[in-house]
Amino acid sequence: MRFNVFPFLDADPVVMPPGMTAAEGALELLPIAAVVAGLENGRLVLELPNGIYRRLGLGADPATSVLVQELGARIAEFLHGNAMREEFDWRMGGAVEQRQFAVTLARVTKRTEPRCLVSLVDRTGEMRTEVNLRREMSTDSLTGLPNRAGFGDRLEALMARGVTDYAVLVVDLERFGRINSCLGGMAGDELLMAVARRMKGALRASDVLGRIGGDEFGVLVAIDGNRAEADQVARRIRGVLSTPFRLSDFEIRVECAVGMAFGADAIGDAEDVIRHAQFAVRRSKETGQAEAYQTQAFDRARERFAMETALRRAIEARQLELYYQPICDLSSGRITAFETLARWTDEAGRVLSPTEFIPVAEESGLIVPLGRWAIDEALRTLAAWDVRAGGQCGVQLAVNLSPIQLQRDAIAPLVAAALAKHGLPGNRLKLELTESALVADPDGIAEVLHALKATGATIAMDDFGTGYSNLAYLQRLPIDILKIDRSFVTGMLADRDKIAIVRAILSLASALGMDTVAEGIETPELGQTLAALGCTYGQGFAYARPLCAEDAWALLVARSA
């Protein structure tokens, strides 16, 4: 056994007498190696079992070893203190080779002089595996390019340095799924590799190319403040991909959409920047050229999504309400019906207009549960009014139907069931639908309309005159009422063109034997004029705004008195 003594602070080295500690015994107990350290007259003393330096790769001469250079002060500090134990990682700073140790300092209590056991567990192997693992995890095994995580890391590193002169391009291969299923996965893989090679060839060595999704590549390019450079890169990529690929006797054309996001606009982290570029890909698919991400478009989509989530909750929690706007006989002023209009008071107490949330409901399919609720709610109110009136309350209720409901829901049986549930005959219900429902599927819709008609309900064509459908359908479909769109009615008195259109609609309706309702009557004179022109019914602020059920009932009672 050899003992060595090392300098601590400004004290001179001392030599420890042999046989002080059974350091070798301690060595056996510990996983890799242990050193006993002590303070003698304030100086750090290390007992080193034979061969430890060589075994740990610390070099042959302990006196100049990094162990002492780098850990001596820390061990001495520990010995001067009161802690019983301290653990830390130590990365030995070799220039060529880095080694990592888990170090534990454990105080030996029996001694009067402070002493501790320094145990060193060599973690270098594990560290290397970790590095390899991380590299593997950030690489796409097919193309050898950075994968989404790897690409994100590169971008993140750039962002962490405060660099903003860059663009991220997301290149999305179109119809790749079809190629894959037609030619098989192997050919798909081959194609991806070929695409990666060509793209790499179109980029500078300093650009980063990654495969960030199945058929999606990411490109990180420096742009020196000029955004047009990103466009050029996009054009180069589309250029190299435009030559067909030859794969096992097939000639395959690959088209791609390119979305771009710029470092100068970056908010959030690398993942956000990539998402923004991906978002721009959608627009690129529509326009056929590379598109840059626009903040507002993303925000709008996010808002829409937030609204969809909130609306779903509101429908489930029955937080929507129906408002009722009277439809009057223009000659007598009598209320003959109420149109039901959905209202939504959101969590913040804002009342949202259906023009805001119905499109979201239609896009997300939520219009189906919303529409079912509206039919049920309207008929429930009508049945309740009948009870209060001690018989038929004398009005119809009109419910708006979206084209999506006509396509996706079994609407006729649903209406029949709702009528039965509330004990009401079909003729108490009006259904309003817009021309767009007819345009989408003229033949399918005819069948649905006849089935609806069979429930006894009245069918009204809403917003008439704004759609672009062929008027011939009017003859073939069981439509009872035309509702003249507000845009022709409001301000009509001062506009000869509008008067001409309204006249034409009125004569068309009379020729076809249909009733007419003018929407958006804001002044009494307008109502009188429309009546004189032959319009049967009217609706608008001149009579009443949409009212909650209770106010609508009160209005009805007041008018009938």
**Could you give phi then psi for residue 94, rounded to 5 degrees?**
-75, 145
The option from ligand C2E, Mg ion, none interacting with 541 (CB < 5 to 8 A, set by class) reads ligand C2E
Tokens 């003249």 belong to residue: 484
538 near ligand C2E (CB under 6 A): no
Question: Using CB under 6 A, which of 105, 140, 462, 535 touches ligand C2E?
Answer: 462
Distance separating alpha carbons of residues 221 and 223, to the nearest angstrom: 6
DSSP label of 11: P
Tokens 């794969």 belong to residue: 247
Minimum separation from the CB atom of position 284 to ligand C2E (A): 33
CB under 8 Å to 42, separation ≥6 — which residues? 8, 9, 11
* CB contact at 8 A, 3 and 47: yes
291 near Mg ion (CB under 5 A): no
* CB contact at 8 A, 472 and 438: no
The option from Mg ion, ligand C2E, none interacting with 359 (CB < 5 to 8 A, set by class) reads none
Q: What is the number of residues in the chain?
A: 561
Question: Using CB under 6 A, which of 40, 321, 522, 551 touches ligand C2E?
Answer: 522
342 near ligand C2E (CB under 6 A): yes
Choose the binding region for ligand C2E from 92-100, 259-267, 283-291, 534-542 (rule: CB under 6 A): 534-542
Cα four-point dihedral sign 330, 331, 334, 337: negative
Paired tokens of 99: 């080694």
Q: Which is nearer to ligand C2E, 216 or 409 (CB)?
A: 409
Distance separating alpha carbons of residues 35 and 398, to the nearest angstrom: 90
Q: In which element (H, E) is residue 341 found?
A: strand 335-345
* CB contact at 8 A, 471 and 501: no
Helix axes of 354-364 and 295-316: crossing angle, nearest 10 degrees: 90
Q: Which is nearer to Mg ion, 140 or 462 (CB)?
A: 462
One-letter identity of residue 258? V
Q: Which is nearer to ligand C2E, 47 or 462 (CB)?
A: 462
Classified as helix, coil or strand, 395 is: coil
CB under 8 Å to 435, separation ≥6 — which residues? 461, 463, 464, 466, 467, 468, 469
Tokens 């049967």 belong to residue: 536
Question: Using CB under 6 A, which of 88, 250, 305, 541 touches ligand C2E?
Answer: 541
Q: Which is nearer to ligand C2E, 272 or 346 (CB)?
A: 346
The option from ligand C2E, Mg ion, none interacting with 546 (CB < 5 to 8 A, set by class) reads ligand C2E
Minimum separation from the CB atom of position 306 to ligand C2E (A): 20
Classified as helix, coil or strand, 215 is: coil
The option from Mg ion, ligand C2E, none interacting with 509 (CB < 5 to 8 A, set by class) reads none
400 near ligand C2E (CB under 6 A): yes
463 near Mg ion (CB under 5 A): yes
345 near ligand C2E (CB under 6 A): no
Choose the binding region for Mg ion from 11-19, 41-49, 460-468, 552-560 (rule: CB under 5 A): 460-468
Question: Using CB under 6 A, which of 546, 547, 549, 552 touches ligand C2E?
Answer: 546
465 near ligand C2E (CB under 6 A): no
400 near Mg ion (CB under 5 A): yes
Q: Which residues bind Mg ion (CB under 5 A)?
A: 400, 432, 462-463, 519
List residues near ligand C2E by CB under 6 A: 325, 341-342, 353-355, 358, 371, 374, 400-402, 432, 462-463, 486, 490, 519-522, 539-541, 546
